[in-house]
Amino acid sequence: MTTQFEQEFHRQLEQLKTEGNYRYFADLERLRGAFPRARKFEHGGTRDVTVWCSNDYLGMGQHPKVLRAMKTAIDDFGSGAGGTRNISGTMHLHVELEQELADLHQKPAALLFTSGYVSNWATLSTLGSRLPNAVIFSDAMNHASMIEGIRHSRAEKIIWRHNDPRDLEKKLADFPDSCTKIVAFESIYSMDGDIAPIAEICDVAEAFGAMTYLDEVHAVGMYGPHGAGIAARDGVADRLTLIQGTLGKAYGVIGGYIAGSEELCDFIRSFASGFIFTTSLPPAVTAGALASVRHLKESSIERLRHRRRVKELRAQLDCEGIPHAANPGHIVPVMINNPEKCRRISDMLLEFHGIYVQPINYPTVPKGSERLRITPTPLHSEADIAQLVAALSELWSQCALSRKVA
């Protein structure tokens, strides 16, 4: 007998399928040393595919220094950390990584979390719930982890127009000085790849005595002379109260962090449930992240190669008239604007060309703005780019999608 709640699960899942928004995961095995190639499991067998949608933006998840550090840490320290940070789970590696991250962002302190999501959720919920009369001014395009953290804080939330300091200014002006104002935004927005006017936002926030909370998840490792992100690239990192980042994207491992003043990090360390009540990162993960951060602090080769690849891809898409959102960053969104077509094109890329690009549908992006979010890496070759663009061009004709005239 099917219970009422199971019927409800079924109904809602069927609705997602009808809308074209049901998520099918590709069952993959990344192959060490072969990135962006991966093995895909399907129909009882496997096939090799080229991955074009990874957030391992620089291929650091395969970097020999990172792998060596992780293997050594397992040999030296074993698997898990064995506890929460407070109860035997603070390894010396955590302390070293926090110092390295503080130094990266030129802040007095940093604090590690198990993921970027958890760091946003835990920090914003703690700030919003514990600061007196807190009001959080959130950019309209902020990531789900920030939105959930703000919601959980129960603080008043005011949404300002995406990347619009003038709108932020108007909204800040509506609140008295007695409120603790927190301006939360990102440097690079993941789905459109656009970049925030950080200096102007700081100008406005400072005029109202607001604290600034910047998510640099898609920028750390990638921008600035040492990979500290867009704020560092723009020379404004010192104006931000808090910088948040991940170790799971350009750094190729997993984990999240915040960097800020000693008191701020101590405050979050002391009050954030999502920091306190969970087992800390395993030594191998921490060692891998530390090796990755250190490497990208010194080496710009990966960043330079990466930029060249992004430029080449955009130029070739332009030659074929494949429309892609113009942005100054490294994310190349190819707009389809229809959920079924987006899925179909993704399926055909995989089936006929061995190219894996996950379709991005609602709720990750608004309905009607479905896209292929393409992320070139320094490890994609010129031949990979040519193959991707030729395949897209063929599918563009087959699906009668409109081309952009140069």
The CB-of-5 to ligand PLP minimum distance in angstroms stands at 29
CA dist list (Å): 208 to 57, 171, 211, 212, 240: 36, 11, 9, 11, 14
The two three-digit tokens of residue 333, written as one number: 């969104």
How far is 103 from 293, CA to CA, in rounded Å? 11
Q: Answer whether 48's CB lies under 8 Å from 354's CB.
A: yes
Residue 224 tokens, joined: 């600035």
Tell me the C-alpha to C-alpha distance, in Å, between residue 274 and each of 115, 253, 277: 10, 20, 6
Of 164-193, which residues contact ligand PLP (CB under 6 A)?
A: 186, 190
Write the CB contacts of 394 (distance below 8 Å, at least 6 apart in sequence). Answer: none
Distance CA 356, CA 26 (A): 8
In the complex, the smallest distance separating the C-beta of residue 186 from ligand PLP, rounded to whole angstroms, is 5
117 counts as binding ligand PLP under rule CB under 6 A: yes
**Residues marked as catalytic:** 249
8 A C-beta contact, residue 244 and residue 116: yes
CB of 294 to ligand PLP, least distance (A): 19
Query: Which residues are within 8 A (CB) of 381 and not within 5 positions of it... i.e. 6 or more apart?
Result: none
116 binds ligand PLP (CB under 6 A): yes
As a whole number of angstroms, the distance between CA 53 and CA 75 comes to 33
Q: In the bound complex, what is the minimum distance in angstroms from residue 376's beta carbon to ligand PLP?
A: 18
- Say how far apart CA 166 and CA 169 lie, in whole Å: 5
Name 325's Cβ contacts closer than 8 Å, sequence gap at least 6: 192, 193, 194, 332, 333, 335, 371
DSSP string, 348-386: HHHHHH-EE--EE-TTTS-TT--EEEE---TTS-HHHHH
| 138 counts as binding ligand PLP under rule CB under 6 A | no
Cβ at position 365, least distance to ligand PLP in Å: 12
Q: CB-wise, 93 or 146, nearer to ligand PLP?
A: 146
* 115 touching ligand PLP, by CB under 6 A: yes
Query: Contacting ligand PLP (CB under 6 A), which of 217, 265, 335, 385?
Result: 217
Residue 380 found at the interface with ligand PLP (CB under 6 A): no
Tell me the residue number closest to ligand PLP, measured at CB. Answer: 116
Nearer to ligand PLP, 215 or 234 (CB): 215
Stretch that binds ligand PLP, among 4-12, 115-123, 222-230, 307-315 (CB under 6 A): 115-123
Nearer to ligand PLP (CB atom), residue 246 or residue 316:
246
How far from each other are the two terminal CA atoms of the chain, in whole angstroms? 60
Residues 338, 339, 344, 345, CA torsion sign? positive
Residue 143 makes contact with ligand PLP by CB under 6 A: yes
Structure tokens at 48: 């090799």
Nearest residue to 120 (alpha-carbon basis) of 90, 94, 84, 153: 153
Task: Verify binding: residue 120, ligand PLP, rule CB under 6 A.
Answer: yes
Nearer to ligand PLP, 122 or 389 (CB): 122
Residue 222 CB, shortest distance to ligand PLP, in Å, is 13
119 vs 338, beta carbon nearer ligand PLP: 119
Task: Write the Ramachandran bin of 59: left for phi over 0, alpha for psi from -120 to 50, otherwise beta.
Answer: left
Question: How many residues line the site for ligand PLP (CB under 6 A)?
Answer: 13
Residue type, 300: S
- Of residues 243-262, which lie at the interface with ligand PLP (CB under 6 A)? 246, 248, 256
> Minimal distance in Å, beta carbon 375 to ligand PLP?
12
Taking contact as CB under 6 A, which single stretch among the options 11-19, 42-50, 112-120, 194-202 is the one that binds ligand PLP? 112-120
Window 50-109: residues binding ligand PLP (CB under 6 A): none
Residue nearer to ligand PLP on the CB measure, 94 or 179: 94
20 binds ligand PLP (CB under 6 A): no
Residue 216 binds ligand PLP (CB under 6 A): no
How near is the Cβ of 190 to ligand PLP at its closest, in Å? 4
Residues in touch with ligand PLP (CB under 6 A): 115-117, 120, 143, 145, 186, 190, 215, 217, 246, 248, 256
